[in-house]
Amino acid sequence: MSRVGIGYDVHKLVTDRKLILGGVDIPHEKGLLGHSDADVLLHAISDALLGAAALGDIGKHFPDTDERFKGISSLILLKHVGELLQAKNYKINNIDATIVAQRPKLLPFIPTMQKNVAEILNLPIEDVNIKATTEERLGFTGSEEGISSYAMCSIDKLNL
C-alpha cells in the first residue's frame, strides 16, 4: 500500500550564519537561524517522510530543546529518519521538493543537493527531485527575510 507525505519548513535569514541547503554550504551573506544547521530543505523532506509513515515530525524526534541537536547537520537527522522508516519496513519510492528563496540562485547547487539526499537515504538519484523558485519579491521569502521549503514523498510498506 502506497502512502504519501508532505513537509514544510521555514527559517529566518540572519547574518553570521552559514546558508546550508540540502547539505550544501552555499556562499551568501546570510544564513538560516535555527537550533540545528537550519537546513529547510532537509527538514521539509524529513517531515514528509515521517508524515507518510505516521511517525510524527522532526520536532518530536529532534526537539530544539535538546542540546544533542544544537548545530547538528541535518544530513545526520535525515539519515536517522531513513533508518526509522527502514525499521518500520517502509521503502521510499520518490521525493519531490521545492526551495522558495529570492536569493541566491540555487540552480548550480541542486545536483549536489540531490546527490546528498539520494546517498543518505540509499535511493537512486532519479528518485529525488529538487527545484527552486522565487516568490517574485512577495512575502517574507520575496523580501529575503527567510527561506522556506516544501517536500512530498511516496513510500510503500514492504511485506516481509
Q: Confirm or deny that 10 is annotated as ligand binding.
A: yes
Residue with cell 544530513: 75
Q: Confirm or deny that 83 is annotated as ligand binding.
A: no
Q: Confirm or deny that 64 is annotated as ligand binding.
A: yes
Residue with cell 527502514: 86
Q: Confirm or deny that 43 is annotated as ligand binding.
A: yes
Q: Confirm or deny that 27 is annotated as ligand binding.
A: no
Q: Confirm or deny that 57 is annotated as ligand binding.
A: yes
Q: Confirm or deny that 136 is annotated as ligand binding.
A: yes
Element (H, E) at 42: helix 40-52
Q: Confirm or deny that 11 is annotated as ligand binding.
A: yes
- 8 A C-beta contact, residue 42 and residue 69: no
Q: Confirm or deny that 9 is annotated as ligand binding.
A: yes
Amino acid at residue number 44:
A
Q: Confirm or deny that 35 is annotated as ligand binding.
A: yes
Q: Confirm or deny that 58 is annotated as ligand binding.
A: yes
Look up residue 81 and give its three cell numbers.
529518519
Q: Confirm or deny that 63 is annotated as ligand binding.
A: yes
Q: Confirm or deny that 61 is annotated as ligand binding.
A: no
DSSP string, 85-133: HHHTTEEEEEEEEEEE-SSS--GGGHHHHHHHHHHHTT--GGGEEEEEE
Cα torsion angle, 15, 17, 23, 24, sign: positive
Binding-site residues, in ranges, read 9-11, 35-36, 43, 57-59, 62-66, 133-136, 140
Binding-site residues for a divalent metal cation, in ranges, read 9, 11, 43
